[in-house]
Structure 1
Amino acid sequence: MQHLRIFTPEAMVPAVLDLLRHDPAVTCLTHLPGAVVDPAGDLIEADLPREAVNEVLDTLRAIGVQREGSIHLGPVPAWLSQAGFDSERVTPGSSADAVVWADVTQRAYEESELNWTYLTFMSLATLIASIAIVLDSQILVIGAMVLGPEFIPIAALGLALVRRRPSLFYFAARSLLVGFVVAIAVATLFALVGRALGWIVVDQVTAPRPATAFIYTPDKWSFIVALIAAAAGALSLTSAKVGGLSGVFISVTTIPAAGNVALGLAFWLPDEILGSVLQLAVNMGGMAVAGWLTLAFQQAVWSRMSARRMRFVERLRARRA
């Protein structure tokens, strides 16, 4: 269940109430005249299932509520309501499967923003990955994977194509490019310092590393794992079940590959650099493609669900008229 809060000028209130009142998915409709002080207006609140959110938001945007006022949407952690239960029963689809595109898109914008926090996490994760390679430690590799913030910007590339958001594509691509360049540069600098102090020697980078050799030796399985992990990640981002994201983070080797690039640059090992760059490209390419295909499939499915629900709403409105 989702809770909808609408701040709107008084002139738009009748249109908003008419849309919400005649939608069978909407329950607990509340109108507080004059509750908004600046800018002056009314407050309208309602509850509705996740499955109905997209169509309701689309109708509100169609009459310009977002330009004259604002629309807030948030989950209801727990609720007890027969009316709410009935509204979920008449709404096609499952709440866990429903994709709230406004929520997914906003999260993609926020987590694809190029800022100091993003760059710091990228740099720290890449540093840990570099240390993991020197020590040949799978545990540290996993830690670096979990810490890296690059998955959502990669998924945002596919989302931007599906939802036709060129600005989101630009934001995500810029964050990925600048993030990896900065993270590799920082890790290379630290590797050069470690080399000068004698803490890291070339044999630690070139010697057999059974626990971390996969980082710079991409093969068909690297691409297949990237496809599967990104599909699972896209489903976690768009559904009500987000537990799958941690599994995605520790399935692909983007951050470890960046750490190995940094070590290769510090000791100038072209084979290590080339293999790691290829691993990075294979993982990012596979994740971007799989994310795009998964989101495109979800949009196709939920477009049919939305059309079915809107036909039901129109028939209901016609009977009430």
Structure 2
Amino acid sequence: MHLRLIVPAEQSAAVLSALDRDFRVTNVVLMAGAAVRPSGDLVLCDAAREAVTDVLAGLRQAGLLVDGGVTLSAIEAAPSANAHAAEEAAPGSPEDAVVWDAVLDQADTQVGGSWSYYAFLTIAVILASIAVVTDSAVLVVGAMVVGPEFGVVTALALGIALRRPRLSRRALALLVKGFLLAIGIALACALAARAVGWVHPSSVSADRPLTGFIWRPDRWSAVVAVIAGCAGVLSQTAGRSNALVGVFISVTTVPAAGDLALSMSVWDSRQIMGSLTQLLLNLAGMTLAGIITLIVQRRLWRRTAAVAATG
């Protein structure tokens, strides 16, 4: 990974010395006096992914995360011999290393509660409601992909696993507010559709071979939620966001919310309870799986680092 550091001038010598002594760091560059705000020297370096957490810990102890600046970015390729040497000096595999500072920073962004989060979640829930009316599996998948809730679920799991109560509270509040708003707007749309004759009680109670599973949670719903939660957290901590698409179309959170809104518009109590149970089951399963995955990751990596230090 590439690190761009803004270092107060009086600390540059110590920071450069620490980076130079670490064989997992390479391509160290100093541009004295280049930084304007905050003022200081600009230091650039590349570090093996496995070493980034240690490097950041040292920078934090030096106060650089408060008095200076740190920016991380992934490197797509580094074919030079010095980069390979830095990677070989680092213990473990880069795919197993988690840059916790980057993961936490991303989680803080996810729980910001932007208008786009509410908009995408609302659109996804409305799409899911239409999928129920039309019994369309294609629309169900579309709603799953549009839904942005998994990042917030990951943030909730991260806050609990790393004992960050503020992060957990913000994530939980955003999940509750987001789904309440999305279900409320979808319910209003469903009531309007019912008023003009587009939706009837039979639209919900009729046999739906392609979407009936949404309001019928079973043991497999819990299994899928747990597996998807593990896969989703691993994809985010390992920087493999392409795997998230598979997670999105595996869990039934957004479809359950859409079914809940539609069932409430015709007041089908059986489907209301079924879809609500499905929604809560998926959220709980993903969160629990995320917590366990994160705890296991931390322990495995600490063991790897300890073995490397003694070896």
Could you tell me the TM-score, scaled by structure 2's length?
Answer: 0.97
Percent identity over the alignment is 44
What are the Cα deviations for residues 43-82 of structure 1, in whole angstroms up to 9, with x where unaligned?
Answer: 1110011111111111111111111111111011222210
What residue in structure 2 maps to residue 151 of structure 1? Answer: 150
Map 1:1-321 onto structure 2 (within 5 A): 2-309=1-308
Q: Which amino acid aligns with 2:262?
A: L
The 2-side partners of 1:115 and 1:275 are apart by: 30
Letter in 2 for 1:80: P
Give 1:315's aligned residue. Answer: none
Cα distance in 2 for partners of 1:280, 1:240 equals 27
Aligned partner of residue 242 in structure 2, secondary structure? coil
* Structure 1 residues 238-290: Cα deviation after superposition (integer angstroms, max 9, x where no partner): 11333211010000100010001101111111111111110111111110000
2-side partners of 1:274 and 1:255: how far apart?
15
**TM-score, normalized by length of structure 1?**
0.94
Give me the whole-angstrom Cα distance separating, in 2, the residues matched to 1:38 and 1:73: 18
Count how many residue pairs are aligned between Structure 1 and Structure 2: 311
For residue 317 of structure 1, what is the aligned residue in structure 2?
Answer: none
**3-state SS in 2 of match to 1:132:** helix
Give 1:295 shift.
Answer: 0.7
What CA distance in whole angstroms lies between the structure 2 residues aligned with 1:248 and 1:263?
Answer: 24
State the Cα deviation string for residues 92-120 of structure 1 (Å, max 9, x = none).
11112211111111111112221211000
SS at match of 2:42: strand
Quick check: 2:33–2:39 contact (8 Å CA) kept in 1?
yes
What secondary structure sits across from 2:30 in the alignment?
A: strand
Q: Deviation per CA, 1:113-164: give whole Å up to 9, x if none.
A: 2121100001000000000000001110000001000111111111112222
SS in 1 for 2:31: strand
TM superposition outliers: structure 1 runs of 4+ over 4 Å: 308-312
Paired amino acid for 2:13: P
Give the 3 Å change call, closer, same or farther, for CA 72–308 of structure 1 in structure 2. Answer: farther
Quote the offset at 1:39 in angstroms: 2.8
Relative to structure 1, the CA distance from residue 60 to residue 305 in structure 2 (aligned partners, 3 Å threshold; closer, same or farther) is: farther
Identify unmatched segments of 5+ residues in structure 2.
none
Aligned AA (1:225): V
Contact 2:153 2:171 in 1 (8 A): yes
**1:97–1:240 Cα contact (<8 Å) kept:** no
Cα distance in 2 for partners of 1:33, 1:4 equals 16
TM-aligned CA distance change 1:122 to 1:71, over 3 Å: same
Deviates further, 198-207 or 104-113: 104-113
Write the distance in 2 (CA, Å) between the matches of 1:32 and 1:202.
70
RMSD across aligned positions (CA): 1.2
Secondary structure at 2:44 match in 1: strand
2:160 partner letter:
L
> Quick one: distance in 2 between partners of 1:191 and 1:119?
18
The answer (yes or no) to whether the contact 1:13–1:42 under 8 Å persists in 2 is yes
Any conservation in 1 of the 2:96–2:301 contact (CA below 8 Å)?
Answer: no
Kept in 1, the 8 Å contact 2:110–2:155? The answer is: no
What is the rounded CA distance, in whole Å, between the counterparts of 2:302 and 2:156 in structure 1? 21
Deviates more, 1:248-257 or 1:165-174: 165-174
Structure 1 CA distance, aligned partners of 2:305 and 2:257? Answer: 42
**Contact 1:145–1:252 (Cα < 8 Å) also in 2:** yes
Deviates more, 1:138-147 or 1:86-95: 86-95
Three-state SS of the structure 1 residue aligned to 2:209 is coil
Distance, in Å, in 1 between the alignment partners of 2:66 and 2:106 is 21
Letter in 2 for 1:197: V
21-30 or 9-18: which moved more? 9-18
Pair 118,295 (structure 1): closer, same or farther in 2 beyond 3 Å: same
Query: Aligned AA for 2:166?
Result: S
Which amino acid in 1 is paired with 2:276? V
